[in-house]
Structure 1
């Protein structure tokens, strides 16, 4: 690989990272800092109007769309991040123990219940549980984490299992290294690249599930300031007042697209330059 090719690859990686950062920064800033600048909700006026002192018009109950946009991202972002973190909090130890154990029965105890759970469609399970318990935002995060644990655990097990089969792991066992040092210090660290790639894809899937659940009224109030709820409740006036639907929808798309670009750029390998022989 020539030096020029390596430089081009590095520039492409930096440009992709910058593009992803620029795309994801807009919804993240609005979601995390927006509520600090909105103040009171303001008076309600006629529904589905454009202008009239409102930058983006009004929504289906006459609220200012811009204020709703500033308020509506925090729930989506924080719920998705919490659900992803909780899923890996369970999947990592289950996958590592399953990959490193020599006891077939223990592996079956850990993985077979997850296989059963994996057979149930994620959104269907969320809707079934939500119809009984009516969860809030925290409950929605737990539900989304639950449906992501089986797949995440299988990815961890597959990645860790490949590393656990290396002679180095057996050498570490013979040297008397602790299970923690082998599992986390060597196997987990060696699997980090695969798990990071899966985390990027999984976060996008979690965002989709959280947004879809909120769109269907799970975890949030029907008139809550939430981007997914805004898309659902304002779609009847799409042709009259499109900004109430288009803006929150674009913010959700930007969040998922930017996240994928960031992870792709962070995980892309820069080709090594091979020196020429004299």
Structure 2
């Protein structure tokens, strides 16, 4: 059962990632625009309502969705991990409050609203959108790290390391972070799906991506009104986004089951 889940997750993730990485290298040069909803050798998925080749748009459209979401998820965890560990391992209550309470304020603001507010002032490109999505994900991720690390920090092993004057980084990253890697892996899967949703929704609204850009989310939004006539321009990019989200969670679930309880014990 676990092996089947792993293989299915790998298959669902592989295609969107490969298209995001290598699709632009394989994309044919742009040809003359001609609206043709029938499949042909020249247009294997037909064209959209502006005459653009759908297959070419699929090959070009993954980087702005997939890579932004993946990089934003990694960046969010890179920021949240030391923040949550610092709050959990400090013996000063005021410092823990100082680190965690501002995050509660950010969590109270819907992520999409925050993206729209910042975008209205800065109009970010793909790099700015990546950083923005990562920052939006940091409060939730930091709370997960903090809640898990507090329990681990109470173990006798941590107190023994402190008595032996081990460095903070060794305690935090060498023991506590290693002990919570299963939790971090599970959270990364959830965080990736949230990033995909946020990046796709932002693209629908024209945030960070031009309205006529070769982007899977933009393709879905632009071609949705005529999906009964030209379904491939909507179905293919939507399936790739959904496949990556579903596959990532299946992979993380399979990896967590394979790893058992794992981690260091106190």
Q: Confirm or deny a common fold (TM above 0.5).
A: yes
Aligned residues: 260
Residue 35 of structure 2 corresponds to residue 24 of structure 1? no
State the TM-score, normalizing by the size of structure 2. 0.94
Residue 256 of structure 2 corresponds to residue 267 of structure 1? yes
Q: What per-residue deviation string (whole Å, max 9, x for no partner) do you get for residues 34-81 of structure 1?
A: 1111131222112x6223531111112100000000000111111011
Question: Partner residue of 1:115?
Answer: 104
**Counterpart selection for 2:220 from 231, 234, 256:** 231
**Counterpart selection for 2:193 from 187, 193, 204:** 204
Q: CA deviation at 1:271?
A: 7.4
Q: For the residues of structure 2 that align with 1:174 and 1:199, how far apart are their CA atoms?
A: 33
SS at match of 2:49: coil
Q: For the residues of structure 2 that align with 1:39 and 1:271, how far apart are their CA atoms?
A: 46
After TM superposition, the structure 1 = structure 2 runs for residues 251-266 of structure 1, keeping only pairs within 5 Å, are 251-266=240-255
Residue 27 of structure 2 corresponds to residue 38 of structure 1? yes
Q: For the residues of structure 2 that align with 1:193 and 1:172, how far apart are their CA atoms?
A: 22
Q: For the residues of structure 2 that align with 1:270 and 1:134, how far apart are their CA atoms?
A: 43
**Counterpart selection for 1:143 from 124, 132, 136:** 132
Q: For the residues of structure 2 that align with 1:227 and 1:96, how far apart are their CA atoms?
A: 37
Cα RMSD between the aligned structures? 1.4
Residue 126 of structure 2 corresponds to residue 154 of structure 1? no
Question: Partner residue of 2:264?
Answer: none
Question: Partner residue of 1:8?
Answer: none
Question: Partner residue of 2:4?
Answer: 15
- 1:158–1:232 Cα change, 3 Å: same
Moved more, 116-125 or 85-94: 85-94
Unmatched segments (≥5 aa) in structure 1: 1-11, 273-278
Q: CA deviation at 1:270?
A: 7.1
Q: What per-residue deviation string (whole Å, max 9, x for no partner) do you get for residues 119-172 of structure 1?
A: 000001101111121111111111111111100000000111110010111111
**Counterpart selection for 2:93 from 76, 86, 104:** 104
Q: For the residues of structure 2 that align with 1:190 and 1:132, how far apart are their CA atoms?
A: 41
